[in-house]
Amino acid sequence: MTPLELLWSGWRATYVTSGGAAGGVARDDVAQGRGSIFTRILTSGLDDTATHVVHRGEGVFAILNLFPYSVGHVLVLPYREVADLEDLTAAETAELWATVTDTVRALKVGYRPEGINVGVNLGQPAGGSVSDHLHVHVVPRWIGDANFMTATANTRNLNEALPDTAAKLRAAWPRG
């Protein structure tokens, strides 16, 4: 029998103790008018380097996931807080998906992944941790990446700090 291997994932403590709301923002903050964590980041007065925003468009922006599944995990979302795809305006829909495409391009240039997951969790039962502010996950993937780590050890293996990831994606962002 081999000894149990322990892997430290202390960064998860913030997420777990905040009830699944990144940055300690309670799930009812949107309902009570305080805004989602994303809105609070945008109105914080902090610059994009401090908040890990990698792109700002007219109605949509891209930000690194503070609790990423892998290096380069980006969230693309509208500035406006909406919960469902059908609540977006036609302009927001067009810009959202164009920005998802640009995110994929930037990840391919910056990281050369072997694959990419693109997904939306609509509603809390679907896995949406900030379900009142729609966001699209764009996650680079590699054959043999750390998939098993989450399932077996509730641990993520990230080999790069968020500021480094943000800088790399900003440099790789398509110029249009």
Return the closest-CA partner of residue 158 out of 66, 76, 75, 77: 66
Which one of 55, 73, 133, 135 is the catalytic residue? 135
Pair type for strands 60-64 and 53-56: antiparallel
Residue with tokens 């909406």: 82
Residue 135 is a catalytic residue: yes
- Report how far Cα 147 is from the mean position of its chain's Cα atoms: 17
| DSSP assigned state of 117 | E
| Region label for 175, one of left (φ > 0), alpha (ψ between -120 and 50) or beta (otherwise) | beta
- Taking CA 156 as the corner, what is the angle to CA 117 and CA 153, rounded to the nearest 5 degrees? 115
- Please list the active-site residues: 135
